[in-house]
Structure 1
Amino acid sequence: MKHLARPITAKYLENAAAFYLERYPTTAEGLRRVLMRRVRRAERVEAPVMDNVEEAIDAIIARFVASGVIDDAAFAQTKARALHRRGMSTRMTHQKLRLAGVDRDTLDKAMTSLDDELATDPQSRERRAAIALARRRRLGPFRASEQRKQNRLRDLAALARAGFASDIARKVIDAADPGALDEA
């Protein structure tokens, strides 16, 4: 039994793009991936697909970019800020934004903008993110004092897996108490 899928037309792709953008912030590349997934799904079930579908997708994306609905720079800045607040390392932030389709130049500008917004340098931003992650996951000085020594290596490993450099991880995990982190 064949599953009947809607034919892929320019109007269908435009509606699908608008529907997606109403719900999720994304980059131009992210929207391209979403629309191409729909095309591949339609091809799998042998639904009619318009000729020149890639050109139609490019035109739709260009219209959304021109109208300001898709703004890769704003997306990168907002996402970088949110990831930093959650305790994401610079390395992991770069990786997540690259996977979302942000180009390297836009990514570098977003990280510079984040440093300007926080009035800090990249090293301090990284330390703040490590502290945020330690607080959120209750690592190091945020852990009960009787459990700190036995969980030190586990806490260091958690920060390492999150992409933080070993010197930053050691400073955060080995801090005497949360107040010592705020002063440093």
Structure 2
Amino acid sequence: MAVRNVADPSGAANVAQARPAPPVTAAYLERAALHYLERYSASTEMLRRTLRRRVEKRARARGEAAEAFWPLVEETVARAVRSGLVDDDRFAAARLATLRRRGSSARGASAKLAAKGVSREAIAAAMEAEREAAPEGEADGLEEAAARAYARRRRLGPWRRPDIRAAHRDRDLAALARAGFPYDLARRTVDAEDIPDEP
């Protein structure tokens, strides 16, 4: 049976709450950045946003203005970039490959990368590198392969059960259009006679 400490009826939890949050320092931000980058691949902007959220939380607990620590955040981000821990070009290329395998259109992948804070230049460079890396004569098929991957993952068109496929044709076309695929490609994907052989 647990014995209650009569001398301290509030318990240790309140003692921990009463302890003030440690100050925001360069060392704290360095540790926070390394901890985040050990777990996630990130763009420069993603790291910046994460560190700012951490600073805002700690500054709020201490009754301080978070904006006073933005220069420290920028210094931490700059060090991560200089050391090669963060590289927007590398991040964009790797993330683009993942998105394309999952069935993102070029337009959809661009939007997702932009939401991660990747610059237009880095996105364009990653797209160009993707085209150059494609086997000869297959660069134009990248979007078609992505449309098939998207339809397969969402079970659209030829991946639907045959008895409900026709009834869902318009809905499937709309889904591909919302994902950023051109109408002609969406139609070819949805109306394919058989499920294409996958690599």
Bigger CA radius of gyration = 2
Q: In the TM superposition, what is the alpha-carbon distance from 1:46 to its structure 2 partner?
A: 2.8
Is residue 96 from structure 1 mapped to residue 101 from structure 2 by the alignment?
no
2:81 and 2:97 mapped to 1: Cα distance? 22
Q: Give, as a single letter, the amino acid of the residue that structure 1 aligns with 2:149.
A: A
Contact 2:96 2:109 in 1 (8 A): yes
- Aligned residue-pair number: 180
Contact 1:8 1:48 in 2 (8 A): no
- Change in Cα spacing, 1:144 to 1:58, as seen in structure 2 (3 Å) is same
* Aligned-residue identity in percent: 43
Question: Greater relative contact order: 1 or 2 (C-alpha under 8 angstroms, separation 6 or more)?
Answer: 1
Q: In the TM superposition, what is the alpha-carbon distance from 1:50 to its structure 2 partner?
A: 8.6
Q: Give, as a single letter, the amino acid of the residue that structure 2 aligns with 1:106.
A: A
Contact 1:7 1:47 in 2 (8 A): no
Is residue 72 from structure 1 mapped to residue 88 from structure 2 by the alignment?
yes
User: Any stretches of 5+ residues in structure 1 without a counterpart?
Assistant: none
Q: Following superposition of structure 1 onto structure 2, how do residues 138-177 of structure 1 map, counting pairs within 5 Å?
A: 138-177=155-194
Structure-2 residue corresponding to 1:83:
99
- Change in Cα spacing, 1:15 to 1:175, as seen in structure 2 (3 Å) is same
- Change in Cα spacing, 1:24 to 1:31, as seen in structure 2 (3 Å) is same
Is residue 107 from structure 1 mapped to residue 123 from structure 2 by the alignment?
yes
Q: In the TM superposition, what is the alpha-carbon distance from 1:2 to its structure 2 partner?
A: 7.0
Q: Give, as a single letter, the amino acid of the residue that structure 2 aligns with 1:145.
A: P
1:92 and 1:112 mapped to 2: Cα distance? 16
2:51 and 2:68 mapped to 1: Cα distance? 13
1:2 and 1:99 mapped to 2: Cα distance? 38
Q: In the TM superposition, what is the alpha-carbon distance from 1:54 to its structure 2 partner?
A: 2.0
The partner residue of 2:153 within 126, 136, 139 is 136
Deviations 1:148-177 (A, max 9, x none): 111111211211221211111101001111
- Change in Cα spacing, 1:7 to 1:47, as seen in structure 2 (3 Å) is farther
TM-score calculated relative to the size of structure 2: 0.82
Q: In the TM superposition, what is the alpha-carbon distance from 1:44 to its structure 2 partner?
A: 2.3
The partner residue of 2:57 within 35, 41, 51 is 41
Q: In the TM superposition, what is the alpha-carbon distance from 1:75 to its structure 2 partner?
A: 0.4
